[in-house]
Structure 1
Amino acid sequence: MKYASFLAEGQELYGVATEDGMIALTADFPQWPTLFNVVAAGGLDDLAVAAKDRPVSHREFEYAMVLPKARRILCVGVNFPDRNAEYKDGTELPKYMSLFPRFSSGFTGHNQPLIRPPESAALDYEGEVAIVIGKRGRRISQADAYDHISALTICNEGTIRDWVRHAKFNVTQGKNWDKSAALGPWLVPFTDPAQLDDARLITRVNGEVRQNDVLARMIHPIRRQIEYISTFMTLEPGDIIVTGTPTGAGARFDPPRFLVPGDVVEVEVTGIGTLRNTVQDEVQ
């Protein structure tokens, strides 16, 4: 089952994505205005039941950011060995993970353009897997961590590179430009550890492979991410953790290969699908 948020006939809807189109379910669940509310209430199974044997309702639609109005999005930085080596600072693999927040306004959906602002030409891509929390927890053990995941999706964690260095310690400015990143196309229920443990992530720009790695090589595996983050904050259903990008982002080429209008970026993850976005300049 693939759960998606989409736009059709001037409405913001959610439902189940099929090969033939969307099965809209928003009207069936007025208590849950967005897919985020569905996840926060533990309602994905209810959507599956409602969609059974129901015909497609929309063949013409546009994908939206998969969890609109998500309350908390936390990203893990520098989480693959080759990515750490890119910094060429001679440091060992980090004992603790780097974390930073992103906000839902910074994301768009599948097949939508990433927006390059007039203030910078340094829009970069970062292909990542995102996990969606489905069960509340604090100080969660690694052994129990996967029990707290509801669903998986894909992230292109687009970054305005020169703005991540405006301050001495934080990267928030460069990570939160409106619609500079994408989440989607859909949520895939998490039912088997192999969905993460055996997954491969590939990012292509205009068909050229730029990133290619397996999640098993993460410095801080996803079980550890959940354990560590839940030490200092209570994880709630609907929280999103963006789990880290492999080597190969545009900033690390010499010269850098930043995104320009007309580029097509595809992030493919085993068992989830492919998140595709174009690039365009902001219309002022």
Structure 2
Amino acid sequence: MKFATVSAGDKQLYGAVVDGGFIALSPDFPQWPSLRQVIEAGALADLAKAAEGRAVTHAEGSFSYDIPVPNPEKILCVGVNFPDRNAEYKDGSSQPKYMSLFPRFARSFTGHGQPLIRPPENHTLDYEGEVAIVIGKGGRRIKAEDAYDHIAALTLCNEGTIRDWVRHAKFNVTQGKNWDKSGAIGPWLVPFTDPAQLDEARIITRVNGEVRQDDVLSRMMFPIREEIAYISTFTTLVPGDIIITGTPTGAGARFDPPKYLVPGDVVEIKVGGIGTLRNTVEDEA
């Protein structure tokens, strides 16, 4: 079952994505205003049961996708998490002892099918295909061996970046990572039920049909279990928090010359068992 947050007319709804469209379920569960509260209640299974046998309420094309979890308390991103990605820096470093982390704000993302926005201040908009996990059971100092028990669902992320702005300071990438609608999350949430969903996952990023990134999550320098354990050491994870787990080599900045995104480009990020996140590119109006 796939669960999404969508906009239809002037209403934001959550529900199930099925063949032919969307089944709105939020009107049946007023106690849970958004998928964030559904996750906090551990109630994705309740949504799945409510969707059984129901007819589509919104046909494909009559709604637009929003980011699946509105207003999460935290969105934390893991940087430089594949061996080939680390080698791109050409500094001779081996795997670092600790993972690199940075925050993103919810408004820096848009939904599936929506345009990524290139700002007028700088045109080095780049793509980064990644798997994102959504925390279902909160906790502090979570052990790595218990980490998967804290995941509610999986989704995809295009962790879009304004490359020139990550170089504005010596130790800080935050300003290059948080331009409004420069990235995307979606299309939906897939409940996490089997470790193989992550352990055997392959991520492929295409730009205008050309494969730019292709790697498997099992090659991550810091596996997702370790990400959850490390992050929860210093901050309490809560339901609805999102961890964006790392991108493979092949981002546009690493080509010679760089292949930054331009208006009209189409970026697709695909992971078997989760789906395909698709976005176009537009200049800011």
TM-score band by shorter chain is over 0.9
TM-score, normalised by the number of residues in structure 1: 0.98
Instruction: Find the aligned partners of 2:31 and 2:284 in 1 and give their Cα distance.
Output: 35
1:1-284 alignment, distance < 5 Å? 1-59=1-59, 60-283=62-285
Q: Secondary structure at the match of 1:49?
A: helix
Q: Secondary structure at the match of 1:164?
A: helix
TM-score, normalised by the number of residues in structure 2: 0.98
How big is each residue's C-alpha offset from its partner over 1:188-216, in whole Å with a ceiling of 9 and x where there is no partner?
00000000000000000000000000000
Letter in 1 for 2:92: G
What's the CA shift for 1:183?
A: 0.3
What's the CA shift for 1:65?
A: 1.2
Q: Secondary structure at the match of 1:14?
A: strand
Query: Which shifted more, 45-54 or 127-136?
Result: 45-54
Q: How large is the Cα RMSD of the aligned pairs? A: 0.8
Task: Give the ranges of 4+ consecutive aligned residues of structure 1 lying more than 3 Å apart after TM superposition.
Answer: none
Letter in 2 for 1:248: G
Letter in 2 for 1:20: G
Q: Secondary structure at the match of 1:45?
A: helix
Q: Secondary structure at the match of 2:229?
A: helix
Q: How many residues align?
A: 283
Instruction: Find the aligned partners of 2:253 and 2:188 in 1 and give their Cα distance.
Output: 28
Instruction: Find the aligned partners of 1:4 and 1:37 in 2 and give their Cα distance.
Output: 13
Instruction: Find the aligned partners of 2:179 and 2:70 in 1 and give their Cα distance.
Output: 16
Instruction: Find the aligned partners of 1:258 and 1:33 in 2 and give their Cα distance.
Output: 38
What's the CA shift for 1:182?
A: 0.3
Instruction: Find the aligned partners of 2:124 and 2:29 in 1 and give their Cα distance.
Output: 42
What's the CA shift for 1:49?
A: 1.6
Q: Secondary structure at the match of 2:58?
A: coil
What's the CA shift for 1:107?
A: 0.6
Q: Secondary structure at the match of 1:183?
A: strand
What's the CA shift for 1:274?
A: 0.3
Instruction: Find the aligned partners of 1:37 and 1:175 in 2 and give their Cα distance.
Output: 27
What's the CA shift for 1:234?
A: 1.2
Letter in 2 for 1:264: V
Instruction: Find the aligned partners of 1:104 and 1:36 in 2 and give their Cα distance.
Output: 13
Instruction: Find the aligned partners of 1:160 and 1:67 in 2 and give their Cα distance.
Output: 24
Identity of aligned residues (%): 73
